[in-house]
Structure 1
Amino acid sequence: MSSKWSELVSDKRRRQEESIPKEWLISQPPINVLDVTSIPEESDVLSAREIEITNCQVELLLVKLASAEWTSLEVTTAFYKRAIIAQQLVNCLTEIFVEQAFARAKELDDHLKRTGQVLGPLHGLPISLKDQLAIKGLETTMGMSQHWSWLVTTFTSAFQPGYASWIGRYASKNAVLVDILYECGAVPFVRTNVPQTLMWGETYNHIFGRTTNPYNRKLTCGGSSGGEAALIALKGSPLGVGSDIGGSIRQPAAFCGLYGLRPSYGRIPYAGAGNSMEGQDSVLSVFGPMSNSIAGVKLFMKAVIERQPWLKDPLAVRKKWDEAEYNLVDHGAGKQLCFAIMWDDKHIAPHPPITRGLKLVKHALSAAGHQVIDWEPFKHEELSDAVRSIWNAGSNEDFLVTTSATGEPVITTMSVEPGEEDPQFRPTPQTDGITAYQLWQVQKRKRDLRKEYLDHWEATASKTGTGRPVDAIICPATAFVACPHGMTRHTCYLATWNALDYAACIFPVSKVDPVLDAKQARDTFFNDSDKAHYESYDPETFSNAPISLSLVGRTLEEEAVIAMTEIVDAAVKAFKSSQ
């Protein structure tokens, strides 16, 4: 039994390698080459036209596809080649299904040629998917298939992420979101790597191994949507789908310099997709877009929502795309907005690059005519602790039941050093659960904290000068930029917004500069964890890592959050170009 999982893994890896066209292979760069972002264009695999295609942002790609200037087949081929190069550099892919994607692209090209009309708003666009999203006929370590459906009645978890125990399953149908993307005219073409159990801020599992950061391969790409982030950062995909239960879209997007949106519960359909800790429905996982442009985020959300997902997923929220909300009718039409900057959460102070990023955004917004005030964090540690208690309630049994099928060991560290234990980020088999009654009390307290936080936000109307409460919060995505493997800590900056169910969007600001981001002396600390976090910072270690921040709005305010992120992003770019 104990060797079964390793045999499955060996066979799976062999089949993955065989799915890669040999003409798309490159010579591996030396291990000491850390920044690999320029290598795809330096290789002999991509033509000049394919480089042009893969450097295009989503909005322009869609224009060229709709006009038939570029065919879906050539666009899909270009991104496929770049995705395979990315795979060789940072190990970001799981499923590679070239023939199926090419057949879809040809079908779309034929439709456009025959009718003169695009099939949908995402016509011909290659889209990558986090390896939770089942695609009919494809093997998946997360999607459900009829062949394995007997396990539903035997075990408490039918879908489990990154587990060798689920190798050999083939999905009998698409996840609802995949169906909708097909209806929108998209071309799903790869799936991307995740950590075992999903409950990690890094990306490593027994099947596909570790995904690294394209800007510095000694650093993590984040997790659990880390494969997705690393792929898009290398421009191996123009638009991708990640998921977020405690920061799993936002952290990897931040670590890889992308735009990524965590929508509120139910705004994007989840039905038919795989997940960890199924049945835990107090802090829900959500799907959301990741892209190299904020326009890509908007295009995805609008396209999916306009397909009325609530007619296909009973948990999807019945809320149409609100153009008035996108035009910021409740936020002064976007004129002279008031943003609040949260410099820290009074528990862990951010590292110097994050603080520099916050200062840059403050200056940029002021220069653009917007008001900027300070945000007073409210019970963030308590909110984060509530999320962790809810996770811990049944995670031990969830992980062990799933891995018992093959004897696969549960991973207890993301460190590259053997023997190191790192239980701080996600629940582990050593974590004791709580009783049902105790769980109810935690969920009750989380509910009450949401009301208290709403009141706290509303009270800022007396400070803004606009007659409105603060329009949005600008805050650290995490207390650190992409860090060495095994060093991911401190989820408060992420999990707080999951507990509150606030929409939040990541946007890039800069990159770590060891001179500009030198370590600053501090005499006082919030606590011992804050002191340890301060001492862990060395600017050379984090060199070249992207600096990204988060814009946070209210529950189900995705349209306004996207619009305000556009405003902040434009202000930052204008300010930087003027310096």
Structure 2
Amino acid sequence: MVARQFGVVQPKAVPKGTPEFEEKRSALLRTLEESFPTEYYLPAEIISNPPKDVSKIPSTCGILTPEELEITEGYDAVGLAEAIAARKYTAVAVAKAFCKRAVIAHQLTCCLTQFFQDKALEQAAQLDEYLEKNGKTVGPLHGLPISVKEHMVLAGTYSSQGEFSTIVKNDKDSQMISIFRKAGAVFYCKTNQPQTIMHLETDSHWGRTLNPFNIDLSAGGSTGGEAALIAMRGSVLGIGTDIGGSVRGPSAFCGIYGFKPTSYTLPMKDFLQSPFPAELNILCSTGPMCRTMKDMELFVKTILDAKPYLEDPRLIPIPWTGLKTPVEKLKIGIIANDGFIDPQPPVKRAIAWAKKTLSDPKYADILEVKDFTPYAAADAWKKIRRMYWPDGGSGPIEAITSSGEPIHPLSEWIWKDAKPHGMQNATAVAYMRQERDNFRMAFAENWNTQDVDVVIGPAFVGPACAHDTAFYWTYTSLYNFVDYPGVVFPTPVTAEAGEKYADDYKPLSDECKHVKQLWEDSNFEGAPIDLQINARKYHDNQLFGALAKLKDILSLP
């Protein structure tokens, strides 16, 4: 008989804290382990000697039944909801399948923080009973399993702001969770996020989340647990947040869809226990992470149909037309680089693929393709790194060190520019806002001068990065700074062994030179490549209309 014992693959450990902290952390991890049924444990040799690409193990390990493989691999969220409504599968069968696959995924990628199968199966059974009794579903998400990022408030679970000392028990749902629950969603797990929730990787007191396609690479952050889980097909639809790329970055690293709306489009009420000073100038957004375009639409439409602005007056009640938004001839700007950091080779191949495909003369009547250079990307990166931390980072530093937790390298990195300035007063923050708004005006003028409807470009400086090296978020954070919506979408391109920079490469900056060095220091083989498409602020419908127009041309799922 094959030996099975619980373990989690961790090729690079997270930093250690004080002995007292490590004792508390061990107790936390034991609690998570005890929530997993032993029959879901992988063979010990897989944990001790995993392949670089672990994405195929759930399908071949023998833990999932043929029906469970069909449920988790054969449908997107839209199709699965339809199958449950048609009674092809019970909600209980679907919940069980995703619970099992989530535990398998966690052992291979460290993507979970909490797991509550019993609650999920109880909720699913109630939904099955309702469908049997009433002959109809409770709503559009009836029986659909949805995974949730750790900081989001979900009744009966714990949440944190990325530090051990901020863990609290929640007794009620946040607004979005409440909307989804009423629509029939089933909640079964929460997923890993980084320390401070402000890394473009996911490394926390729960461990380090790995990229399913190359475990020596990151799954991204801050919504990295979601990205890895969805890529492993342990979730069909997840919820992310994005203040610098935290939906788009991990989605791109793991080869799935991720949507960052314009701020105050979708509700974030009660997502955090306490306010985040960065939002004095840089607003966060929440959005879907999934495997198809239709699933993004299902996510957004379900929420907006509930009229969340009636409960949260900060939200803007924009009528949603989404993928049905009519689009005339589409003017597309192609970003080869942002003038600051030239992307690594496989990203350049993906850009070339998109430009060549879209420039085919047979599409000339519906598409106009032109080169595009974003306005002042280096300056935006410099400004946003200061504006994230008007407190100089003092708040999270205190939250981390108060429990004996170690400060992770990427935490030090992200507040490095702001820390010397210390706590800013109200006047200084107001001047930051003026600086931000002046940039936004110049950015809009530059966009108008280049005359495009949408732009397509890199989602990151490369594919998924090696652990602890996600230093430059320039391609995503720029659109948080100007508050433009963006979607990352999968391409047929993956990183290949032996790829090299062009012989005539010349660095655009010291940071660009560093990115080349990072490429040469690591092996990125197998990492998927996403691209990013962006539209003007409040043009979220037009962004989805553009995606619908490009779907068949680019063969997008």
Q: TM-score, normalised by structure 2?
A: 0.91
- Within a 5 Å distance, the mapping from 1:190-339 to structure 2 comes to 190-206=189-205, 208-274=206-272, 278-281=276-279, 282-321=281-320, 323=321, 326-329=323-326, 331-332=327-328, 336-339=329-332
Asked whether the 8 Å contact 1:358–1:549 carries over to 2, the reply is yes
Change (3 A) 1:496 1:275: farther
- Within a 5 Å distance, the mapping from 1:334-349 to structure 2 comes to 336-349=329-342
1:164 maps to amino acid: F
1:33 counterpart (34, 44, 51): 51
2:84 matched residue in structure 1 = 65
Asked whether the 8 Å contact 2:153–2:272 carries over to 1, the reply is yes
Q: Alpha-carbon deviation of 1:130?
A: 0.7
Deviations 1:534-564 (A, max 9, x none): 2332397111101111000111222222232
Q: Alpha-carbon deviation of 1:139?
A: 2.5
CA distance in 1, matches of 2:508, 2:502: 16
CA distance in 2, matches of 1:389, 1:276: 20
- Which has the higher mean CA deviation after the structures are superposed, 512-521 or 305-314? 512-521
1:98 matched residue in structure 2 = 117
Question: Identity percentage over the alignment?
Answer: 30
Asked whether the 8 Å contact 1:137–1:173 carries over to 2, the reply is yes
CA distance in 1, matches of 2:487, 2:505: 33
Alignment of 1:51 with 2:69, yes or no, is yes
Asked whether the 8 Å contact 1:327–1:560 carries over to 2, the reply is no
- Which has the higher mean CA deviation after the structures are superposed, 445-454 or 272-281? 272-281
1:453 matched residue in structure 2 = 443
Change (3 A) 1:428 1:33: farther
1:563 counterpart (541, 545, 551): 545
Q: Alpha-carbon deviation of 1:276?
A: 7.7
CA distance in 2, matches of 1:423, 1:67: 52
2:12 matched residue in structure 1 = none
Alignment of 1:406 with 2:396, yes or no, is no
SS in 2 for 1:127: strand
Asked whether the 8 Å contact 1:352–1:518 carries over to 2, the reply is yes
1:375 counterpart (372, 377, 394): 372
Alignment of 1:361 with 2:359, yes or no, is no
Deviations 1:91-150 (A, max 9, x none): 10001011111111111111111111111111110000111111112233x2xxxxxxxx
CA distance in 1, matches of 2:31, 2:459: 37
Alignment of 1:393 with 2:409, yes or no, is no
1:164 matched residue in structure 2 = 164
1:424 matched residue in structure 2 = 413
SS in 2 for 1:392: coil
Change (3 A) 1:277 1:346: farther
CA distance in 1, matches of 2:253, 2:414: 16
2:453 counterpart (456, 460, 471): 471
1:111 maps to amino acid: Y
Change (3 A) 1:68 1:539: farther
CA distance in 1, matches of 2:49, 2:65: 26
Q: Alpha-carbon deviation of 1:458?
A: 2.2
2:164 maps to amino acid: A
1:312 maps to amino acid: E
1:155 matched residue in structure 2 = none
Q: How many residues align?
A: 532
Q: Alpha-carbon deviation of 1:32?
A: 5.0
Change (3 A) 1:409 1:516: closer
Deviations 1:144-194 (A, max 9, x none): xxxxxxxxxxxxxxxx22x22134x31021111110110111111111001
Q: Alpha-carbon deviation of 1:423?
A: 3.9
2:34 matched residue in structure 1 = 18
Change (3 A) 1:428 1:175: farther
Q: Alpha-carbon deviation of 1:516?
A: 8.4
- Within a 5 Å distance, the mapping from 1:530-549 to structure 2 comes to 530-538=512-520, 541-549=523-531
Change (3 A) 1:516 1:363: farther
CA distance in 2, matches of 1:405, 1:513: 41
SS in 2 for 1:570: coil
2:131 matched residue in structure 1 = 112
Q: Alpha-carbon deviation of 1:517?
A: 3.9
SS in 2 for 1:455: helix
Change (3 A) 1:490 1:279: closer
Change (3 A) 1:523 1:78: closer
2:43 maps to amino acid: S
Asked whether the 8 Å contact 1:283–1:499 carries over to 2, the reply is yes
Change (3 A) 1:547 1:358: same
Deviations 1:285-322 (A, max 9, x none): 2111000111111110111111111122232222232x
Change (3 A) 1:37 1:404: closer
SS in 1 for 2:108: helix
1:81 counterpart (100, 104, 110): 100
Asked whether the 8 Å contact 2:401–2:407 carries over to 1, the reply is no
Change (3 A) 1:408 1:450: same
CA distance in 2, matches of 1:235, 1:337: 34
CA distance in 1, matches of 2:380, 2:155: 38
Asked whether the 8 Å contact 1:391–1:427 carries over to 2, the reply is no
CA distance in 1, matches of 2:227, 2:289: 7
2:509 matched residue in structure 1 = 527
SS in 2 for 1:536: helix
SS in 2 for 1:529: helix
Asked whether the 8 Å contact 1:507–1:548 carries over to 2, the reply is yes
- Unmatched 5+ stretches in structure 1: 143-159, 414-421, 462-469
Q: Alpha-carbon deviation of 1:404?
A: 4.8
2:432 maps to amino acid: V
Q: Alpha-carbon deviation of 1:3?
A: 4.8
- Which has the higher mean CA deviation after the structures are superposed, 252-261 or 312-321? 312-321
Change (3 A) 1:275 1:247: farther
CA distance in 1, matches of 2:420, 2:217: 27
CA distance in 1, matches of 2:402, 2:550: 49
Deviations 1:353-407 (A, max 9, x none): 1111011111222236122100122112222222111112215211133235423
Asked whether the 8 Å contact 1:375–1:473 carries over to 2, the reply is yes
Asked whether the 8 Å contact 2:392–2:423 carries over to 1, the reply is no
CA distance in 2, matches of 1:40, 1:9: 28
Asked whether the 8 Å contact 1:193–1:211 carries over to 2, the reply is yes
SS in 1 for 2:404: coil
CA distance in 2, matches of 1:507, 1:477: 9
SS in 2 for 1:509: strand
CA distance in 2, matches of 1:139, 1:395: 28
Q: Alpha-carbon deviation of 1:351?
A: 0.7
1:42 matched residue in structure 2 = 60
CA distance in 2, matches of 1:113, 1:400: 53
1:551 matched residue in structure 2 = 533
Q: TM-score, normalised by structure 1?
A: 0.87
2:481 counterpart (487, 492, 499): 499
CA distance in 1, matches of 2:512, 2:19: 42
1:127 maps to amino acid: I
Asked whether the 8 Å contact 2:347–2:458 carries over to 1, the reply is yes
CA distance in 1, matches of 2:189, 2:511: 39
